[in-house]
Chains A and B, each alone.
Chain A
Amino acid sequence: MKTNTHFAFLDEGSKKEIRRAMLKAVAIPGYQVPFASREMPIARGWGTGGLQITLSVIGTEDVLKVIDQGADESVNAVSIKRLVHETTGVEGTERTEEASVIQSRHRIPEVPLSEEQILVLQVPTPEPLRNVEASEYVTKRLHSEDEYSGAWLMLFEQIMKYGKTATNADHPVYVNGRYVMAPSPIPRFDNPKMHQSEALILLGAGREKKIYAVPPYTDVESLAFEDYPFTVESFDGQYCHLCGATDVFMDELIDPVTGEATYQCNDTSFCVERLNDKEKAEVETSYA
């Protein structure tokens, strides 16, 4: 007994259902649309929500980029890219500009995205109010009543305790002035990239069975107080030890011998591209 896998793994009925949920998500920015999340051949919590979105939107003409923690070559990214390729034949790329669909875990690429691109973010915990309210029934009601004092209070308490807001990745955002949304655990550094993004951003939480979206050119505002403004992670005075970039999100590498920290671009394809450009320029000048 041998069977071939269906195009894009899921059966057509399932893909249609997921696309309908996405349309609703686009129509109501930031609203978490429940959907019947299918069980996928990768584990729940490893990106099944993003994968279902990718498989439901992808066509044979698309070019796919998958990143995990900023890297194209990371094992989970490779495994997802491979699964999509095996079931659709779609070619992968590492160049952000070339991709029409970009599935990502925890990062928005450093290269600005365009109208032609869709960014799919994997979300482990879509509910921004979960740490102030455990019950799904209650949080759903709070969203419908635009009642976000829990989230504000969380920030306020941090200021009381620590003298500043102390959120990590996944700093909550107001979308289109209506829904508070968890932007997937992207670092605060990437939050501003969602604001008025040219690319459509689709967010999928497989285990929690929710799809939500930020349509292009939509206001996305990180929650903050006037006197305690939103701040991103600070890499002040640091630069990438490979390509020299500043103003990017960086990985901190500890030298095992000296114990000193060096920094390097977290977005590996961005870094490689800069290195290539530099090399090209060097070669050209030396020949000239």
Chain B
Amino acid sequence: MGYVAVKGGTMAIDASIKRLKYERLKDEEIIEINTILSTMKAMVDQVMSESSLYSPFLAALAIKQAEGSMEEAVFLMRAHRSTLPRLYYSQPVESQTMLVERRISASFKDIPGGQLLGATYDYTHRLLDFHLTEECAEENEQWLKDYKNELQSVEASVNVQYFPKVVEYLREEGLFETYEADNTPPKDITKESFQFPASRSERLQVLTRGQTGAVTSLGYASLRGYGQVHPTVGEVRVGALPIYVEHPNELETDEEDHFYIGDFKATEVESFVPVSVKNDKNEEELEFEIGYGVCYGQNETKAIAMSILDQCLEHPESDFPTHDEEFVLLHIDSVESTGFISHLKLPHYVTFQSKLDSIRQVKKGVQEDEN
């Protein structure tokens, strides 16, 4: 039979999958899911954020299966998410109630409650640490013991402390407008496809699910000049947020009766953006607006970039692509962009034959005309 490249699909697939497994196993090393969970926090957080499924264990499993490929891991998690029935929506989360582990402001040195550095790479020197090549369990244990001893001398507060939002402080001064809390249920973009112009809840969902790199680069583009938003970070906070759901069958809803179903770690950013507005006398006046970013886990760059893009999309009248919601929202999704780009690897024999025909016919026509 004649040679057709696409024939023999079943056997080829089986062999390819086997080969893939071999590549993962060939060095005879096995990474435990728990090892990923406890030592690759940043990856786990990023996968959860982009797949909008909060499960550190499943994210670690996905990373293991995907051999550390982020796009693959997110893909696995998203596909798994499609098999889960979605039964409840939670109550709106009030981010004031975050159990803060890190909180900084780039706008004010002296914020009520103080700055809390928490764990961050920001102040490390990025020098390869060759000591890590010979880490051992005993040394780790000793280090942990010493660290805990040090902690004992630190006096803990008796009460759980909630930190006020930096912006509240400025609101009192009249620098920011006060808006009514909008607790209308958000449109779930994973249960309904969004239409343009998109609502803010839809925009924020797409941004928070967006691929970290894509969100960062578009945020960066806006900052660099392809946009009109150059913010000051009002507040970055990282910590655990509690989730409550309403009783599904009760008609009376009292906040006291809501069920606490656990908490999740999140990064939240409020950026302050100066904008000029015309006042009643038609004079340009400066005013502050807020750009908002929030995502699962500790992903500070992404959350800040999200806050820039949120603010950009609030001002669609600008000519820059970062202010065009179709441009931004339709192109930052990890699964969608990698999927469509990778589909170019599929055969295109039929469409190419058709294109070839068209070009040949046109060329033939031109030659006939010239003769």
Contact = CB atoms under 8 A, between A and B. Distances in A.
B8 A35 contact: no
Interface string B349-361: 1110111111101
A233 interface: yes
A264 interface: yes
Given A43-B343, A169-B351, A169-B355, A11 B83 contact: yes
Given A43-B338, A107-B350, A36 B355 contact: no
Q: How large is the interface on B (under 10, 10 to 19, 20 to 34, 35 or more residues)?
A: 35 or more
Interface string A5-35: 1100111111001000000000000000011
A187 B350 contact: yes
Main secondary structure of the interface of B (DSSP, over half): helix
A251 interface: yes
Interface string A237-256: 00001100000011111000
Interface in B3-35: 3-4, 6-10, 12-13
A70 B82 contact: no
B346 interface: yes
A259 interface: no
B361 A69 contact: no
A73 B196 CA distance: 40
Contact of A11 (B10, B85, B351, B355): B85
Contacts of A5: 83
A45 B195 contact: no
B13 A124 contact: no
Interface string A191-229: 000000000000000010110000000000000000000
Contact of B82 (A40, A44, A82, A164): A40
Contacts of A136: 196, 326, 330
Contacts of B336: 44, 207
Given A74-B9, A207-B340, A264 B2 contact: yes
B334 to A, nearest CB: 10
B339 A10 contact: no
Contacts of A75: 6, 9, 12-13
B3 A69 contact: no
A53 interface: no
Contacts of A167: 358
A149 interface: no
A140 B190 CA distance: 21
Contact of A168 (B12, B85, B355): B355
19 contacts: A6-B83, A9-B82, A9-B83, A11-B85, A17-B191, A34-B195, A39-B79, A39-B335, A69-B348, A70-B349, A73-B7, A76-B9, A79-B13, A163-B362, A187-B353, A188-B354, A207-B339, A233-B354, A252-B356
Interface of A: 5-6, 9-14, 17, 34-41, 43-46, 48, 68-71, 73-79, 82, 105-107, 124, 134-137, 140, 162-164, 166-170, 185-189, 207, 209-210, 233-234, 241-242, 249-253, 262, 264, 266, 268
